[in-house]
Amino acid sequence: MFVEPILKRLEHKIESPSPCFGNGIALVPLLVRRGFGTAAADTYLQERFSSPVVYLILCGAYLVVALVII
């Protein structure tokens, strides 16, 4: 049958996931946490400063984090 080889390959891929799959699953909570942290920081800074200043502060914070990671 034409569909059998395709199904067998899919079963094999499901049974042996790639190593990147586990790392991707571990990163999802970190990305969600970063999103909530950014939203909380934005809300806090919006009460203290005007919108353009808040976005410059957040941009600077992300720039520092990116430079530290690199």
Who has greater pLDDT, 62 or 20? 62
Is residue 66 pLDDT above 80, yes or no?
Answer: yes
pLDDT for 61: 92
Q: What is the mean pLDDT of the chain?
A: 83
pLDDT for 22: 64
Tokens 């530290």 map to which residue?
68
Average pLDDT of the segment spanning 37-48: 93
3-state SS, 11-37, equals: HHHHHCCCHHHHHHHHHHHHHHHHHHH
pLDDT for 1: 61
Is residue 9 pLDDT above 90, yes or no?
Answer: no
